Structure 1
């Protein structure tokens, strides 16, 4: 009977399934078969009863037969009747519990005992299977919640002690053993670490972290004991943020879900009154009216019309889609966004950090009059004095370092560096720096799209170094996959200069590539595009937040990226892989397809059997299939989402 206990209102994930699945999760210590015992008992008695009916044994007379089938009915029927009475007390008269109780008790009233037991038995079995499917989908979605760290080992008063992670402050030092979970976001104090970040990124490949790099709560330490300096309190950590998004996702309904729930509330009373009409109206139009026959048809009508298949299979389909996304490192902040992402036909993307790695690297070195090694010695001596990203890229590239000594180094904002290296005046910067110092440079330099550092030694042009932001490995693949999944237009909007943006756009094969844009310029461009298209915007920075907010679907690149971008977005890609976006589109479209298949299946079969039942061509057995059978088929179809392989 526990299969029909009323669940708590606070269980938001299962609230959508209240029509057909009102069971509490089976406790771990209970036998997995225990909820099925009443159904097994009823099934055995029903089978024996049908056999006794077949052989027409004398002792199996009217009253014995009624008692036998009542005993078979009570284990599966009473929980449903009790649930119906509870709903009636709350003013909810027209529920599926009421419909099933009325139909099966009506079958007993006209002497169709086996059919009354069979309808309730298969309804109960259907309920149990539905519950199991919903519970599994719920667990898939909320798997991350089990990743919540229970304790953390923090250094206090000269020793390491285990405490609740929520009591640890920013700046404290924690220790994480091999195989343990990192409880809080922080900075690695140890020299290196190998971390499994699957819980927060969906990627199982170990991530090798160096001293000083960021580490994130939810990661698993794979090798050696490591020490970490905490940079965020628990409620602001990556795993806490992800858990909150997962919990909130199931409370944001799609329009389809909301419509079906409203529809069921209107549909059920209509069915009840139609059944009444089917029972009594034929009296005025049919010559040989037999009340029992038309009552039987009305009871079939009630069984067939139960909206369980619709009310349970649709939220279950969305659970499957949300779970599939979570498994692949994609967090939809609600079922509504699973729907919305299927309608987009334009994708607008930021460049730096979204399509590119956001890390500058030396691409080419062109030396005019000096050997390349000597040129790099001069330049590196200057650049190691600066903290500019381009300066760091050059210093990192020339791993051998330099023996040259730089003096009087000055950083000229927006232009570059100047100083004295080994007694020679050295300039390293852009064209403006060269112009200010009256140094002529080759014309070919103006046609080079990449960022560059031009070098002059003793007021003479000496060469240049091009600096490029590398494309991500899957950037090209992501564009082709988007086109494959129905995206008609891909646009790059970047704050980088136009020549670089154009070159990236041509390499990736996008439709439009615009550079030199300020955040407000990006906003204006997206607003123009939105007038004629459904649009998704993917970005990763704080300056992308306004555009993420106005897009039809805002996609934050990198679940470990900008907090503002993540809070604003509708979909969060937990890795830095742009190829996750076409996968998100594919999951959304597959979810929608399965949901509409279930709607068509439920309505189609029910309509056919309703017509047959009203015409006297269907029995309770067909009614059972039209209700429970269709519901089970819809559930099996929805479960496919959790087993699909995504490109």
Structure 2
């Protein structure tokens, strides 16, 4: 319902909201990307929990270590301690043995990629380049190129695993087992087997595994797993408690209300697991570019090795083949196709650490370019926790009787105003004969009781039914609930909502980023203007119906400004659909936001809005740094290689070296402070 406040309609999913799971089949292996023959495996579905251990990391480098030792021995026998026996087939055999540990896995992947129809993968490029080096007698360089490539791949694997594990460790705080009360005894059971309605016993320091309702009188919980904030949160009997919360004192009992797989934390995990499926435009462009780019450089390499025959007097095939091989090694686009998705994934991870969930890397790009933030008032700028301040009824009406009817009608609504009235009046009299209950969007509620109409809402509702009243609504500062019964004006109830602690900081941070802020609200204009003046918001509009908000946002977008809309996650669907990115104040009790918004702020703090924008901007900056680095270095070394001025060593740096630099730059965002 709408009581001159912000929560009019149920929000529906936008066209770019949550995605279906797109986990890859080979989680243990990270590859450069579709453009090189395989998808960048950035999913969180990791079946090997030990993958990030030191032993696992060392095993990644074991083939490279074996090849390095064999290569160093061979170089020593070639140059420093020459031996008469180290020639011919023995020398070739030794270098082949040094090549196999790092080369065989790559050649195997190349064959598999070709079988799948992807000829121009990075495995194919590295294979023909190194085999070509062997063919012209450049054994050390053939082994060295594959060795450094293998080292680069190992570092890529570690970087991606670390990104996956960091986020999974951050979010998946659910214990596998719980203590379920059966009679007076606590029985340990698997969390996923616990049914709705069963009671869990939670000792001090234990984590809750399932969502539920607190049936103990009170308890304090650490909610960091869901909000990023470790500040103790007091809960009373009947309050909702969620999986991932840690009981801080005494023994608490919780009645399970949601299955293990449907808990809020499970939804959050699914959201982040699916986030990499929503690709940013930059990422999609690089993939398409590389699919065209790679065959072109292969053709150019063939031209470099053959065409000079017709134009160069002293043409030596092995010399021009060497240049072509260098060209191929340089051309491998690994730096782009691994570091770019890793950069976006790092941005998603950095946001998760701050209790901000992005539903895809595309939203990181969009939010980085936001010029105007449009906000709800209730639940976004204010706490959304209303308290009745005063009841002003005409003396000819029985105050308690009218309040009882209002309370009964409001019990049909989930609006914060309804909660405030219920807390003020008390228990609902369910015996009252309420009939023909109707919610009038943007106005309030109407029902029939004892043969008379009962109207509860804003003064526009009274105007709609031609109810006369003798007061000026604009003279009342607080949110006002007008009441009419039997076609007569009964009076009004005033309700107040407090401004959030960090709301003022939010507006200042947005201004410092050069972003305009507008507040749109269905609440009465006097309240909206008071809040706006307090916070320093110059553009604020109250008394708005849902269609009015749409028109206001359309007016902003007509100025070619990109708009983010911030709401409480259960209303204003038309405005969210119209905005470039929808940001929802998720809160601990609002499941709808997990399904509907593009970005979810878990702890309801508006100051996370500029934080999300800052993370988006930094992610985009890092991605473009990597693109510039990769293209710049490769362009220079490609020209040098084609002209015979670069060796395989420069080629290795242009490929593996640049890839490693780009990866280190990409993972840097996860360590930044925002």
Q: Which residue of 2 aligns with 1:566?
A: 594
* Alpha-carbon distance in structure 2 between the residues aligned to 1:281 and 1:589: 46
Unaligned runs of 5+ in 1: 1-6, 367-378, 399-410, 416-428, 433-437, 455-463
**Contact 2:171–2:225 under 8 Å retained in 1:** no
Partners of 1:548 and 1:565 within 8 A in 2: no
In the other structure, the counterpart of 1:53 is 78
Deviations 1:301-326 (A, max 9, x none): 01100111011000110110010011
Residues 6-55 of structure 1: CA distance to partner in whole angstroms, max 9, x if unpaired? x9626499577474878996655955422212211211222222223223
RMSD of equivalent CA atoms: 4.0
**Cα deviation per residue 1:70-123 (whole Å; 9 max; x = unaligned)?**
221111111111111121222221111111111111111111111111111111
Q: Report the structure number with the largest CA radius of gyration.
A: 1
Alignment of 1:449 with 2:516, yes or no, is no
Change in Cα spacing, 1:265 to 1:584, as seen in structure 2 (3 Å) is same
SS in 2 for 1:536: strand
TM-score normalised over the length of structure 2: 0.79
Aligned counterpart for 1:142 among listed residues 153, 168, 188: 168
Match of 1:435 in 2: none
| Residue 229 of structure 1: how far off its partner (Å) | 2.4
Give the TM-score taking structure 1 as reference length.
Answer: 0.83
Q: Which moved more, 1:121-130 or 1:356-365?
A: 356-365
Determine helix, strand or coil for the equivalent of 1:199: helix
**2:664 maps to 1:597:** no
Measure the CA separation in 1 of the matches of 2:570 and 2:648: 62
Report the equivalent of 2:128: 102
Give 1:188 shift. 1.5
C-alpha separation in 2, matches of 1:178 and 1:513: 46
Q: How far apart, CA to CA, are the structure 1 residues paired with 2:648 and 2:552? A: 61
Alignment partner of 1:323 is 2:349: yes
- Whole-angstrom distance in 2 between the partners of 1:385 and 1:348: 36
Q: Which residue is equivalent to 2:453?
A: none
CA distance in 2, matches of 1:440, 1:521: 27
Q: Summarize the Cα distance change of 1:440–1:123 in structure 2 as closer, same or farther, 3 Å threshold.
A: closer
What corresponds to 1:584 in structure 2? 612
Q: Unaligned stretches of 5+ in structure 2?
A: 1-22, 393-398, 411-415, 426-433, 438-443, 446-456, 461-467, 483-491
Tell me if 1:9 matches 2:25. Answer: yes
Which residue, out of 247, 266, 286, partners 1:221?
247
Shift of 1:581: 0.9
Q: Distance in 1 between matches of 2:366 and 2:24?
A: 30
Do structure 1's residue 174 and structure 2's residue 200 form an aligned pair? Answer: yes
Match of residue 268, structure 2, among 242, 253, 264: 242
Match of 1:42 in 2: 67
Q: How does 1:256-275 map to 2 (within 5 A)?
A: 256-275=282-301
Preserved CA contact (<8 Å) 1:300 1:619: yes
Deviations 1:560-598 (A, max 9, x none): 343334311100101110111110011111111100100
Encode CA deviations 1:212-265: one digit per residue, 9 max, x unaligned.
222112211121110122333334321121122111111111122222122222
Secondary structure at the residue paired with 2:386?
strand
Residue 528 of structure 1 corresponds to 555
Question: Structure 1 residues 144, 298: closer, same or farther in 2, change over 3 A?
Answer: same
**Equivalent residue for 1:286, pick from 312, 329, 344:** 312
The match for 1:112 is 138
Question: Alpha-carbon deviation of 1:353?
Answer: 0.7
| Residue of structure 2 in register with 1:509 after alignment | 536
Matches within 5 A, 1:123-522: 123-143=149-169, 146-156=172-182, 159-361=185-387, 447-451=475-479, 467-487=495-515, 489-522=516-549
Structure ranking higher on relative contact order (CA contacts 8 Å, 6+ apart): 2
Q: Deviations over 1:159-188 (max 9, x none)?
A: 443444444444433222222221222221
User: Do the aligned partners of residues 130 and 275 (structure 1) sit closer, same or farther apart at CA in structure 2, a change above 3 Å counting?
Assistant: same
Distance 1:37 1:599, change over 3 A: same
Distance 2:139 2:26 in 1: 39
Contact 2:214 2:241 in 1 (8 A): yes
Q: Which residue does 1:92 correspond to in 2?
A: 118
8 Å Cα contact 1:174-1:227 kept in structure 2: yes
Change (3 A) 1:173 1:527: farther
CA contact (8 A) 1:257 1:315 kept: yes
Residue 194 of structure 1 contacts residue 223 of structure 1 at CA under 8 Å; is this kept in 2?
yes
Closer, same or farther in 2 for the Cα pair 1:207/1:286, shift >3 Å? Answer: same
The 3 A distance-change label for structure 1 pair 363 and 79 is: same
Q: Is the 8 A contact 1:383 1:395 kept in 2?
A: no
Q: Hey, what does 2:568 align to over in structure 1?
A: 540
Counting matched residue pairs gives: 598
Mapped contact 2:219–2:235 kept (Cα < 8 A): yes
